[in-house]
Structure 1
Amino acid sequence: MKNNATWLVYTLLLLLMAPMMVWAAPAAKADPVPEKLPWTLREHYTFHGEGLRLDYAKDNAEWRIKEYEEDSESSRMYPKLVLRDVGFSIDVKNGPVLNNELLSATGETTMHREAYNCDILGEGTTYAVEFVPYEGLTVKHSLITMRRWNFIRVVISITNTSGAPVEIAKISPVIISSDNYPNLSVNAVTSTNSLVYEDGKAVLGDTGAVNTIRLFDPDRNVTLLMGFIPTGQGVCEFRKYPAGAPLEGIFETVYDPAVVIADGETMESNPLSIGFGIDAEIMEGQYAYLLRKFCEVPETK
């Protein structure tokens, strides 16, 4: 009899607690961001720079630089990387930070390839990864190559179809994470430059905010130059991480005040030039030419 009474009390307690247990059930977790596929399984373009190659991924617009090797299973699985998986981000004022992972998780991207023409530089090709719209913003990440020139330009465009104005506070077209330069030799040399303006023309200087970074590794025959080509809108800078290697950091353009994109309108980032794998003097000369022809004196408040 005692056992029956005990079970009756236990049963009543379970009935009373059931609604509470249902109420306290944990909320469903958001789907995790899927892990990236290895590069051997990712659709991508490869660009040549003499002894180096630049891979550009369709799934999230990441890119990397590696040494050229004869094609083999070993070279595909274990490439000799110079610069690993470079990303980007866009800071929406009072809104989200849009980056590779967030945008690529929204849906499958579209890869565009189309002719490009410039009165000064001649003919080229635009390779662009277009992401699925996120909160009414369509982001297109482009690499532009030129037929007669050795550099690649990075440009990010943002189209607003949200139905209301959107403000962009910062665009970071190149994000180099810590430890993204694997296997540099002990003889690798790095350097940086700022930009100064003489008679309205941009030239490389040694004081002020860093705009240009270089890497020369004679043991691996590696040459690399990256730098903004400022168009006069926003403040461009390479911001090094407080700790880490000298060339680990973020190329960013800060807009103060923020740039307003009206509904149906598009804005473009300041172009960023990448030279890789070619003779250092040629690389320097071509970048200096870009600065003379395209760089504008920055706006002042």
Structure 2
Amino acid sequence: MEYKKISSSKIATIGVGTWGIGGKIEREQVTRQQRQQWAAAIREAIDLGMTHIDASEIYAGGLAEEIIGEAIKGLDREEIFITTKAGMEHLGREEMVKACERSLKRLGTSYADLYMPQRPSQEVPIAETMKALEELHEKGLVRHIGVSNFTKNSLLEAQGCLKNERVSAVQDEHNLLRQNTELLRMCTEQKMLLIAYRPLAKGELSQQGIPILDGIAQKYGKTPSQVALNWLTGQERVVTIPKATSREHMLENLGALGWKMTRQDRRKLSGIGKETAIGSHALITNT
């Protein structure tokens, strides 16, 4: 596995997303066997080196966090990097502290490596949310502070609200088809990490049918998914969290690492997408 720095820590370049495990927003009725299968898949990902696990309190009404907790039970916690998030209704100071504590209980851990609001609130001032994040950091419940789906101005405001800490990471959509170039530039300038979700554009980049992508995949003996992920992870400040629940899919994702494309091929790939605005999902209710 390749790693990148997040402040003084390290994070796996390719991690595991858990959106959709156990349901979308609402918790689904799942069997014990299903829970065990999902937990086993997460554990296998960790065994393969994908030690960054991304979650949120809103994923399946907290069930995704519970399943992660089952997956990591008995493992060396220091070898695992857990990101989780607070929903928009819990971004006030008291609400966020309580939300974080509930998440940690579901995860079966005493701290989150990275904690962030799922997206900015229309009702709670950003300053109050960032104060809550600093308080969580001071209590040792959170090791790094992040934000998700923030607009450019909201991100700058959030960074300016912190007194003793800084925003270490930003989570947003970034992939070949929807390139968040402005956010990537900000992350480079501010020395923040960009955690790219939807790295395969909801499967659009996993299939053949994009001539430039298909041609480059054939040139390097890779799949379209591996080329798309390599394009992402080849960017200095980017890590990503594709969802994978089968060993075959996990190994395919890992095949995106350990090789490099030429600059010319990277430029060709960059030409197939379009710019997407920073925080373009800020008002969407799910990820």
Which TM-score bucket, shorter chain as reference?
under 0.3
Instruction: Name the structure with the higher helix share.
Output: 2
TM-score by length of 1: 0.24
TM-score by length of 2: 0.24
Instruction: Name the structure with the higher strand share.
Output: 1
Higher relative contact order (CA 8 A, sep 6+): 2
